[in-house]
A and B are shown apart, each in its own frame.
Chain A
Amino acid sequence: MPIESLESVAKKSVAAVQDYAILTGRAIGNIFQRPRYLTDFIVQADSIGIGSVPIVLLTGFFTGGVLALQSASSLAQFGATAITGELVSLSMIKELGPVLTSLMVSGRNASGMASELGSMMVTEQIDAMRALGTDPMKKLVTPRLFATVFMLFFLTILSDTVGTIGGAVISILWLGQDGSQYFHTAYQSLRFPDILQGLVKPIFFGFIIASVGCYYGMTTRGGTQGVGRSTTQAVVVSSVLIIMIDLVISQFMIGIFGR
Chain B
Amino acid sequence: MVTTPQLAAAPTKDDPVEPVVVFDHVSIGFEGKQVLEDISLTVSPGETRILLGPAGSGKSVLLKLTNGLMRPDSGTITVFGEPIDTMPEEQLFKLRGRIGMVFQEGALFDSLTVRDNVGYRMMEQKVPEAEVTERATEALRFVELEQTLEKYPSQLSGGMRRRVAIARAIVNRPDLILYDSPTGGLDPITSTTIIELVMKQRDVYHTSSLLVTHRLQDAFTLATHSFDRALNHMVPNPDGHLDPETNFLVLHDGHMIFDGSTHDLVHSDDPFLKEYLS
**B266 within 8 A of partner (CB):** no
Give the chain B neighbours of A38 by CB distance below 8 A: none
Cα A238 to Cα B63 with chains together (Å): 36
- The contact string, 1 if C-beta is below 8 Å from chain B, for chain A 120-131, is 000111011111
CB distance from B262 to the nearest CB of A (A): 29
B93 and A133 form a contact (CB under 8 A): yes
Cα A39 to Cα B121 with chains together (Å): 16
**A134 within 8 A of partner (CB):** yes
Given A130-B69, A134-B124, A135-B89, A124 and B97 touching (CB < 8 A)?
no
Near B by CB (< 8 A), chain A positions 106-156 give 123-125, 127-135
| Nearest-CB residue, chain A, relative to B64 | A127
CB distance from A113 to the nearest CB of B (A): 14
Near B by CB (< 8 A), chain A positions 51-94 give none
Give the chain A neighbours of B141 by CB distance below 8 A: none
B103 and A132 form a contact (CB under 8 A): no
A132 and B120 form a contact (CB under 8 A): yes
CB distance from A36 to the nearest CB of B (A): 13
CB distance from B65 to the nearest CB of A (A): 12
Cα A45 to Cα B38 with chains together (Å): 48
Cα A139 to Cα B110 with chains together (Å): 16
A127 and B69 form a contact (CB under 8 A): yes
B109 and A125 form a contact (CB under 8 A): yes
**B127 within 8 A of partner (CB):** no
Give the chain B neighbours of A125 by CB distance below 8 A: 107-110
Given A124-B104, A127-B64, A127-B103, A133 and B110 touching (CB < 8 A)?
no
| Nearest-CB residue, chain A, relative to B171 | A132
Give the chain A neighbours of B89 by CB distance below 8 A: 135
| Interface residues of A, count at CB 8 A | 13
Cα A133 to Cα B90 with chains together (Å): 9
B121 and A132 form a contact (CB under 8 A): yes
Given A133-B96, A134-B93, A135-B89, A128 and B124 touching (CB < 8 A)?
no
Give the chain B neighbours of A129 by CB distance below 8 A: 109
Cα A132 to Cα B67 with chains together (Å): 10
CB distance from A243 to the nearest CB of B (A): 33
CB distance from A221 to the nearest CB of B (A): 11
Give the chain A neighbours of B124 by CB distance below 8 A: 35, 132-134
Cα A125 to Cα B121 with chains together (Å): 14
Give the chain B neighbours of A123 by CB distance below 8 A: 105, 107, 110
| Nearest-CB residue, chain A, relative to B67 | A131
| Nearest-CB residue, chain A, relative to B70 | A127
**B99 within 8 A of partner (CB):** yes
Give the chain A neighbours of B107 by CB distance below 8 A: 123-125, 127-128
CB distance from A87 to the nearest CB of B (A): 46
- Given A125-B107, A131-B96, A133-B96, 17 more contacts at CB 8 Å? A35-B124, A123-B105, A124-B104, A125-B108, A125-B109, A127-B64, A127-B69, A127-B103, A128-B101, A131-B67, A131-B69, A132-B124, A133-B94, A133-B121, A134-B121, A135-B90, A135-B93
Q: 7 tightest A-B contacts by CB?
A: A128-B107, A124-B107, A131-B101, A133-B93, A124-B103, A132-B121, A133-B96
28 contacts between A and B (CB under 8 A): A35-B124, A123-B107, A123-B110, A124-B104, A124-B105, A124-B107, A125-B109, A127-B107, A128-B101, A128-B103, A128-B108, A129-B109, A130-B69, A130-B93, A130-B96, A131-B67, A131-B96, A131-B99, A131-B101, A131-B103, A132-B168, A133-B93, A133-B97, A133-B121, A133-B124, A134-B120, A135-B89, A135-B93
Residues on B facing A (Cβ under 8 Å): 64, 67, 69, 89-90, 93-94, 96-97, 99, 101, 103-105, 107-110, 120-121, 124, 168
